[in-house]
């Protein structure tokens, strides 16, 4: 993508990820990401690339199972926007994803 309107980026992301967009804050300018044609990316990788650009505007894309939100990263993020995931689901999210999880602790004999 070169000089793509953010609206087009989010439409493409929605189509590719199978998630519905919830863009609460619209970024300014355009999005450019030029990578090799033969490279393969997961949707988590793409989320990271988008978030790297959004971070410049203090914005964040938060993916859920069926939706994704674009919000301001300044101040408090609505806890309802943060997905709760199992440890085994981490691979479905990129390194910039914000998620909530529970890690069970097992206490073995003394």
Task: List pLDDT tens digits, range 50-76.
Answer: 999 999 999 999 998 899 999 999 989
Name the CA radius of gyration of the chain, rounded: 16
Give the tokens for residue 44.
């988590």
Q: Class assignment of domain 4-92?
A: alpha beta
Q: How far apart are CA 56 and CA 42, in angstroms?
A: 22
Q: Are 34 and 2 in contact (CB under 8 A)?
A: yes
Task: Indicate the pTM of the whole model.
Answer: 0.83
> What percent of the chain stands above pLDDT 90?
52
Domain ranges (residues) in the chain: 4-92
């Amino acid at each position: 993508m070169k000089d793509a309107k953010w609206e087009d980026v989010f439409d493409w992301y929605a189509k590719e990820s199978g998630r519905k967009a919830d863009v609460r804050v619209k970024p300014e300018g355009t999005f450019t990401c030029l990578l090799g044609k033969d490279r393969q990316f997961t949707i988590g990788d793409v989320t990271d690339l988008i978030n790297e650009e959004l971070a410049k505007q203090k914005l964040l894309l938060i993916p859920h199972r069926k939706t994704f939100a674009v919000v301001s990263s300044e101040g408090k993020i609505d806890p309802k926007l943060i997905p709760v995931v199992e440890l085994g689901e981490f691979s479905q999210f990129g390194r910039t994803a914000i998620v909530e999880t529970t890690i069970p602790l097992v206490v073995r004999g003394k």
